[in-house]
Amino acid sequence: ADVEESSKPLFAGLSDISISEDIPVEGDISVPIGSQNADNDLSTLDEPVKDTIMRDLRAVGQKFVHVMYPKKSSALLRDWDLWGPLLLCVTLALMLQGGSADSEEDGRPQFAEVFVIIWFGSVIITLNSKLLGGTISFFQSLCVLGYCILPLTVAMIVCRIVLLGSSGGISFAVRLIVVTASFGWSTFASTAFLADSQPANRKALVVYPVFLFYFVIGWMILTFSPSR
Amino acid sequence: MSEPQGSKNTNTEPWGGFDDNIIQGSNSAVIDMENMDDTSGSSFEDMGEMHQSMKEEEAVAAEAEATEEDTGEDGEFLGMKGLKGQLGRQVADEVWQAGKRQASKAFNLYGNIDILRPYFDVEPIQVRSRLIESLIPVRVINFPQKVAGELYGPLMLVFTMVAILLHGMKTSDTVIREGTLMGTAIGTCFGYWLGVSSFIYFIAYICNAQITMLQMLSLLGYGLFGHCVVLFITYNVHFHSLFYLLWLAIGGLSTLRMVAVLISRTVGQTPRLILCGTLAALHMLFLLYLHFAYHKMVEGILDTLEGPNIPPIQRVARDVSVVANTVVNATIKTIAAIVQTQ
């Protein structure tokens, strides 16, 4: 009711106002030149491609170093990216392609199978650690698991070099040692990052699937044999 | 505009009540069946789902209220002028809202992994004790035995069995079909766990056994622990008699445990017989299948490992030709000698 009473004089007065040229309208409309501050983050579109690639490569390389020397740093978790895992996954899958004496459709693990196993294994481990009450996010966990495949990829390269020489019992022993060491390294590196985000008494429950995952990948590497 | 408020009050029944989309009229005319739960409304997963969908209904009803008020005012304000454009826009808006509601409902119902969270709430000690208990048959069968409804242990055991199967298949370099073997291993293990659980749950439903799907999944999953142990031992030590012994001993123990739990939850002789006979047969035969399906490959590999460099067929052919040559030469010489002496 109060609102209606005070609005009546307002509405009543509106009909008397007419806009004429007598009332000066002046002011200053100008756009400050410094408003391009908001564009600074988006201006990476204008930089040369070399800069973009080098920046990303440097970030990936830095994370590789973190994996090879797993200290308790949070760099891997803070700025996660999936370039490194993609690179490693593709390299591993390509190298596992190389040799099949009988080149029928059922030869070595196909590229797609290695890819699918690595990515779906990572997804399942991530879901498992989240369901067990982990505080790590989905993509951070994928990032860590993907980067920790690096030792196994190095082992794959070493195995291929060893297989170039001989393929007898000694080479098998050497390959076994190399793959076992790198598998242990991978598991240790990933638990150094993942286990911190779990409640203390459940670390074993999270480490076990990671162990299985790298075991399967290690087994694929160990039983790889090139064609003649 | 008082109808949407009325819809909130009628959802007071414990089982969720009927959905009042019919009364509102502007939404879909279909009764939402997912709130009318008919089976065990007291089990945890059903209550969780119901609460979820009830929360969603409230949020969605509040949203629908707000949008209806807005679009109602717009319609009245414009009057006849922009009727066609406004109507078209309104219809499109309604369709979009309805689609978004359905999609978000479906996603929150099925894509929410928090539904599974209670089933993973275990400690390592619990998992260890349950693994060992899965090989110990219970004695008391006239009282329903407790079955832990947990999915972490069974899931890890299935993955372990996949890894053991892969290890068993790859014992030599000459294994062909390695790529598809991986898919076969995963398919076999998961197919057994999920398929046989569902099948036994269905038979249990027919035979009036008191067991839920989750408990059946958990029971069968832990029963795979015995299989894992047997396969792990026999893929490394290839003795037929050892396998049969382990098959009967460990396979039998884990089967007996599952059978005892099921018997304790079933009434009547015939249902018990049907249920437990089926489960025992499937469980034992699966272990037999897993061993023998990859056994021929193992034997074949053992043969080829003896002569890695010489393909056997060529060797035999060469020997035959050498033997034949020497025989022919010898006969010609003897014939020549005989002819000469004569």
pLDDT digits (tens, 9 = 90+) for A190-204: 888 777 777 777 888
Average model confidence (pLDDT) across chain A: 77
Contact B182 A113 (CB under 8 A): yes
Span A196-217, average pLDDT: 84
Q: Give how far B170 is from chain A: nearest CA, Å.
A: 7
| Residue B112 with chain A: CB contacts under 8 Å | none
Restricting to A residues 87-146, those with a Cβ less than 8 Å away from any Cβ of B are 102, 104, 106-110, 113, 117, 127-128, 130-133
Instruction: Name the burial class of residue A225, with classes exposed (0-12), middle (13-18) and buried (19+) by CB atoms within 10 angstroms of its CB.
Output: buried
Chain B's closest residue to A105, CA to CA, is B177
Contact A109 B179 (CB under 8 A): yes
Chain B's closest residue to A204, CA to CA, is B124
Q: Give how far A195 is from chain B: nearest CA, Å.
A: 14
Contact A106 B177 (CB under 8 A): yes
Chain B's closest residue to A121, CA to CA, is B159
More confident call, B272 vs A73: B272
Contact B179 A127 (CB under 8 A): no
From the list B156, B175, B176, the residue facing A208 with the nearest CB is: B156
From the list A104, A204, A215, the residue facing B124 with the nearest CB is: A204
The one-digit pLDDT tens for each residue of chain B (342 residues) are 444 444 444 556 667 656 554 444 445 556 556 555 455 444 555 555 566 666 666 656 555 555 555 554 554 555 555 667 788 899 999 999 999 998 888 877 666 777 778 888 888 888 899 999 888 888 887 888 888 888 899 999 999 998 888 877 765 433 545 556 677 788 889 999 999 999 999 999 998 888 999 999 999 999 999 999 998 888 877 778 888 999 999 999 999 999 999 999 888 899 999 999 999 999 999 999 888 876 655 555 555 555 445 444 444 444 555 666 766 777 777 787 777 776
| Residue A209 with chain B: CB contacts under 8 Å | 156, 159
**DSSP 8-state symbol, B272:** H
Residue linked to tokens 């190298």: A95
For residues B255 and A124, give the distance between their C-alpha atoms in angstroms, rounded to a whole number: 29
Restricting to A residues 4-23, those with a Cβ less than 8 Å away from any Cβ of B are none
Q: Give how far B160 is from chain A: nearest CA, Å.
A: 7
Is the backbone of residue B150 left (phi > 0), alpha (psi -120 to 50) or beta? beta
Q: Give how far A115 is from chain B: nearest CA, Å.
A: 12
Contact A212 B160 (CB under 8 A): yes
Answer yes or no: is the ipTM higher than 0.85: no
Contact A109 B122 (CB under 8 A): no
For residues B156 and B153, give the distance between their C-alpha atoms in angstroms, rounded to a whole number: 5
A181 shares contact with chain B (CB less than 8 Å): no
Contact A208 B155 (CB under 8 A): no
pLDDT at A75 over 80: no
Q: What was the pLDDT predicted at B57?
A: 63
Report how far Cα A162 is from the mean position of its chain's Cα atoms: 31
* DSSP SS3 for B15: coil
Half-sphere exposure of A104 (CA within 13 A, CB side): 6
Contact A219 B167 (CB under 8 A): yes
More confident call, B302 vs A97: A97
Q: What was the pLDDT predicted at B317?
A: 45
> What is the torsional sign of CA A190, A192, A197, A203?
positive
More confident call, A3 vs B110: B110
Contact B123 A201 (CB under 8 A): yes
A47 shares contact with chain B (CB less than 8 Å): no
Among A68-82, A159-173, B116-130, the least confident range: A68-82
Chain B's closest residue to A109, CA to CA, is B179
Q: What angle do CA A201, A202, A204 make, to 5 degrees?
A: 110
| Residue B190 with chain A: CB contacts under 8 Å | none
Span A73-100, average pLDDT: 79
Q: What was the pLDDT predicted at A102?
A: 47
What is chain A's alpha carbon radius of gyration, rounded to the nearest angstrom?
30
Interface A:B, Cβ pairs < 8 A: 65
For residues A120 and B87, give the distance between their C-alpha atoms in angstroms, rounded to a whole number: 47
Q: Give how far A158 is from chain B: nearest CA, Å.
A: 18
| Mutation target vs B (from A205, A212, A228; most B CBs, 10 A cutoff) | A205
pLDDT at A11 over 80: no
Q: What was the pLDDT predicted at B117?
A: 80
Chain B's closest residue to A131, CA to CA, is B117
| Mutation target vs B (from A179, A217, A223, A225; most B CBs, 10 A cutoff) | A223
Residues 6+ apart with CB under 8 A from B287: B226, B227, B230, B231, B247, B251
From the list B152, B160, B180, the residue facing A106 with the nearest CB is: B180
| Mutation target vs A (from B115, B130, B151, B178; most A CBs, 10 A cutoff) | B178
Residue linked to tokens 């390592």: B124
CA dihedral A110, A113, A114, A116 (to 10 degrees): 150
Helical H runs in chain A?
2-14, 49-68, 75-78, 83-95, 111-131, 138-147, 150-165, 169-194, 203-222
In single-letter form, the type of residue at position A41 comes to: D
pLDDT at A48 over 60: yes
| Residue A205 with chain B: CB contacts under 8 Å | 122, 124, 127, 152
Chain A's closest residue to B153, CA to CA, is A205
| Residue B116 with chain A: CB contacts under 8 Å | 131
In single-letter form, the type of residue at position A181 comes to: A
